[in-house]
Amino acid sequence: MIVHKFGGTSVGSAERFRSVADIIQRHYQENPDRGLIVVVSAMSGVTNDLVRGARLAAEGQDSTCREIKARLLQRHLDVVENLLQQRPGRLEVAGLIEDRLHDLERLYRSIAVLGELTVRGSDTVASFGETLSSHILAALLQEHGLRAQALSSSELLVTDDCFGQANPLLERTRERLQQWVRPLVEGGVIPVITGFVGATAQGITTTLGRGGSDYSAAIIGAALRAEEVWIWSDVDGILTADPNIVPQARVLGELSYGEAANLAYYGADVLHPKSIRPVIANGIPLRILNSFNPDHPGTLIVEKPHPERERLPAILSTTGLSMIVLGSQDDSWALAQAARALQRLNEANLDVLMFSQSLSEHNLNLIVREQDQAHSLKVLRREFDHPLYQLEARERVATISIVGVPGWNETGAVAHAFAAVGRQGTRVIAVAQAATEDNVSFCIPEEQLADTVRFLHRELGVEA
Ligand code: ASP
Ligand code: MG
């Protein structure tokens, strides 16, 4: 059995859905008895829109919130219209989309009445995108003559109640998957399961954290002891740099579980960092593949990579970040305030990607995603509501991490990276270095990112 997971860009448009259906059909026909499970993300950008709508609802911004819902409705209906040729299937899926988005509107209204968005409410809202995409894909596969069935993971993936970052309860999840999914697969049906979403034992919807569909696929693969888990995204695997910045970037052909987890942790966003955990225990290989270039072999992640494989460092970059500075005008700023700030952001389910605390400057620098900036400022303003405190969003920043695999760093490449950043004249805002000395991360102004990444890629000899 192979678990195939398709991310948001792989199902970002009618045309993309078509390519995914072709990939699934080809794999199914090549080996119909092997067993195939599909895990799917929401269409790209949809989860962001859903959550933004919920935040606006809590602020009473009714009309913007209705616009978001209307746009989501239109986008999904357009895809269905364009994609599904057979009228009954098309009408059924269109009806389902309308119903779900009607539910969404009701949910937004109740959030508006409460005037507050809880993490639990946010999870319910965020789960809608995967429901829609899974039904669209299942209907399309049916048109291709395959026996596909959309399944909601809120019935399958049992989690604790850590809303926003729920943890799977593996035994109960395994029982449900064995009971409901295995017989389908063995009967030749292709289950199309919603990624990212789960539910508590009481049935309350949870999510596994942003980007969590990879994690869902790994959990499902481990629970059913799949042969392999294949993560389909929009690049050729885990690369030595972002190919949009460095066209010569190279694919890391084989990695160990530990190396891949490290790369994912530092921002190789083709793989959610938690996805390695479930597959390690059962030694299940993971592949990272490109749905835009399905014949490329991609990256293979296994327990023991081939000893002769090439060892290259990767330069991982994250853009679209914003730096928020919080501090006090006098010298009263202390670690306790910093701790409070981080805690409030965490409670509001806002990720802080990097922070630096300078006691001598009486402030805390926080790096958050641009789309979370307004909400982060609001949460902090509420907590630090005194003229003594200063709070502002400073600039758009990016992070660069240089991550090595064991065996590449004999030449002191981290020191080399520091020197290269200096030579390139990059303004470094913050640095974080791992104790192992084969990883280092820099926070820099976003406009210097591309030049710095290209320079480092050359300087570290990755293009050799
Ligand atoms: N749709 C979810 C997100 O945008 C999960 C995923 O794409 O993996 O975070
Ligand atoms: Mg992803």
- Whether residue 98 has pLDDT greater than 60: yes
Average pLDDT over residues 251-268: 89
With bands split at pLDDT 50, 70 and 90, how would you rate the model's confidence at 460? confident
List the single range of 143-157, 165-179, 279-293, 299-313 with lowest mean pLDDT.
Answer: 299-313
Average pLDDT over residues 229-236: 95
**Which residues, in sequence order, are bridge partners of residue 401?**
316, 441
State the CB neighbour count (10 A cutoff) for residue 321.
20
Give residue 384's pLDDT.
96
Better-scored residue on pLDDT, 20 or 347? 20
Q: What is the DSSP string of 367-384?
A: EEEGGGHHHHHHHHHHHT
Average pLDDT, the chain: 93
108 lines ligand 1 (CB under 6 A): no
User: Which chain residues have CB less than 5 Å from ligand 2, an ion?
Assistant: 7, 211
Q: Measured between alpha carbons, how far is residue 102 from residues 2, 105, 135, 195 in Å?
A: 35, 5, 16, 22
Q: Taking the alpha carbons of 32, 229, 316, 365 in that order, is the dihedral positive or negative?
A: positive
In the chain, % of residues over pLDDT 90: 79
Q: Which amino acid is at 226?
A: A
196 lines ligand 1 (CB under 6 A): yes
In the chain, % of residues over pLDDT 70: 97
Give residue 440's pLDDT.
85
Which atom of ligand 1 approaches the CA of 215 most closely?
A: 8
Q: How many CA atoms lie within 13 A of 366 on its CB side?
A: 28
Q: For residue 258, give the H/E element and its range.
A: helix 257-265
- Whether residue 429 has pLDDT greater than 90: no
- Whether residue 410 has pLDDT greater than 80: no
- Whether residue 30 has pLDDT greater than 90: yes
Query: Tokens in use for 283?
Result: 């030694």
- Ligand 1, atom 6, residue with closest C-alpha: 211
With bands split at pLDDT 50, 70 and 90, how would you rate the model's confidence at 33? very high
| Ligand 2: centre distance to CA 95 (Å) | 28
With bands split at pLDDT 50, 70 and 90, how would you rate the model's confidence at 333? confident
**Which residues, in sequence order, are bridge partners of residue 368?**
322
Give residue 60's pLDDT.
94
With bands split at pLDDT 50, 70 and 90, how would you rate the model's confidence at 396? very high
Average pLDDT over residues 384-388: 94
- Whether residue 216 has pLDDT greater than 60: yes
CA distance 135 to 130: 9
**Which residue among 131, 210, 371 is best mutated to probe the pocket of ligand 1, counting the most ligand atoms within 8 A of its Cβ?**
210
Q: What is the DSSP string of 383-442?
A: HT-STTEEEEEEEEEEEEEEEPPTTS-TT-HHHHHHHHHHHHT----EEEE-TTSSEEEE
213 lines ligand 1 (CB under 6 A): yes
Average pLDDT over residues 229-240: 95
Could you give all domains of the chain from N- to C-terminal order, each with its CATH number? 2-302 (3.40.1160.10), 314-459 (3.30.2130.10)
Provide the edge-to-edge strand list for the sheet that holds 299-302: 148-151, 190-194, 36-40, 2-6, 228-233, 286-290, 299-302, 254-256
- Whether residue 102 has pLDDT greater than 90: yes
Average pLDDT over residues 124-133: 98
Torsion of CA 84, 2, 179, 271, to 10 degrees: -90
With bands split at pLDDT 50, 70 and 90, how would you rate the model's confidence at 253? very high
With bands split at pLDDT 50, 70 and 90, how would you rate the model's confidence at 412? low
Give residue 280's pLDDT.
94
Which atom of ligand 1 approaches the CA of 209 most closely?
A: 9
Give residue 461's pLDDT.
79
Give residue 464's pLDDT.
65
Cβ-contact 78, 44 below 8 angstroms = no
Q: Model's pTM, two decimal places? A: 0.89
